[in-house]
A and B are shown apart, each in its own frame.
Chain A
């Protein structure tokens, strides 16, 4: 049985709330809370994924050598 996640309240302008409320149903959500949670998760995920991974050229070349030696690359 899944336990309920803990929730906190966040204040947003009433006008924004009303605009979201109009879109909730057509977007396939049951409540403004659910819709806002979804949008914020999407935004955060895309921001977090913008961080670039860092490989040095030397490291990358070593990896390519191994991949060639194993027959993965020509």
Chain B
């Protein structure tokens, strides 16, 4: 049996077609609010149940509870504030408003509450720092001064160049059921796969029925792999090295917060909603720079015995020249002089220099895909 949705029920906030047409025909009657791309993605995730049990953006009770207790006000684990900020509201509590991304009406929102907040407190509690060099902190500092809480209804999806690969929780749940998987381990990634990733994924798959690789697509930093490169690289890996009946690949659109341990819990909740029963928590999961300890996220899972998805803590894999294969620190008796750590940064440098990484770092089929792109990296 796949995981029950977080909070018990999968949220779906998509208006019926006739209602949608009526709302769109009455657009001019609603206050219009412009939102940025990341918030529009949040709306899609709320509407499709990726963020179940959220039905909209947090009101102040839930916001305060998430900051202070890492739980919603009903005590359900929730670590990342999903909030909508505005500079200055042109509407009141009780109003219905339309949220636009560029010229696209994305959602109708029923404004329950408009409230102020402390950006420094937000940053320190969620990111454990108020250093503006942290990308999550920088974003918070650029947010509007007011937060708006209330339920949303999806009117339009954003254009999605990867619609074919984007599965919603309703779809992943049916997929897992049809495949006959009762236990599913999810792996979150933003990278082209190397042997270290493959080792961790396959080690986890040993203990469950199915492996669900779920790359996050969305806004990237300069130097990151482009979305299409990640997808094509995984397709090559699946074709040559993964058992067809126990591994699948689908993407999710999501804006990374880089909140380290707190975000690891959030990533697990998203995959629980997609039906996964287990979640691989990586080294420095959702981290950036050195704001979090490499295994700090592992410890935070201890505080959530009621999370409803089982974390799998698999140590970083490296190649040992003495063992002649991929191992981790727990199972390898040899010294550091035999170990070759696979660093994403090092691989990127090799690829940029036109140098093929050795096979114990990256599968040749994956390298072929990466090099087939004129520029596989975000500029």
Contact = CB atoms under 8 A, between A and B. Distances in A.
A63 B306 contact: no
Nearest to B75: A41
Contacts of A55: 170, 174
Contacts of B8: 48-51
A2 B306 contact: no
A70 B68 contact: no
A44 B9 CA distance: 14
A1 interface: yes
Interface string A1-36: 111110000000000000000000000000000000
B120 to A, nearest CB: 12
A50 B190 CA distance: 34
A45 B308 contact: yes
Interface in B178-226: 178-179
Contact of A67 (B9, B125, B178): B178
B350 interface: no
Interface residues of B, number: 26
Nearest to B10: A53
A48 B171 contact: no
A67 B163 CA distance: 12
Nearest to B248: A72
Interface in B1-27: 4-5, 7-10
Interface residues of A, number: 25
B175 interface: yes
A73 B245 CA distance: 10
Contacts of B250: 72
A39 to B, nearest CB: 10
B164 interface: yes
B310 interface: no
A49 B305 contact: no
B178 A49 contact: no
A67 B371 CA distance: 30
B124 interface: yes
B246 interface: no
A2 B126 CA distance: 10
A45 B124 contact: no
Contacts of B306: 41-42, 44-45
Contacts of B9: 51, 53
Nearest to A47: B8
Interface string B290-316: 000000000000000110100000000
Contacts of A59: 170
B328 interface: no
A1 B174 contact: no
B156 interface: no
B356 interface: no
B125 A64 contact: no
A2 B68 contact: yes
Contact of A66 (B124, B171, B179, B305): B171
Contacts of B248: 72
A5 B67 CA distance: 10
A38 B171 contact: no
9 contacts: A3-B67, A45-B306, A48-B7, A48-B8, A49-B308, A50-B4, A66-B171, A72-B167, A73-B178
Given A44-B75, A64-B178, 12 more contacts: A1-B125, A4-B68, A41-B306, A48-B8, A49-B8, A53-B5, A53-B9, A55-B174, A60-B174, A63-B171, A64-B174, A67-B171
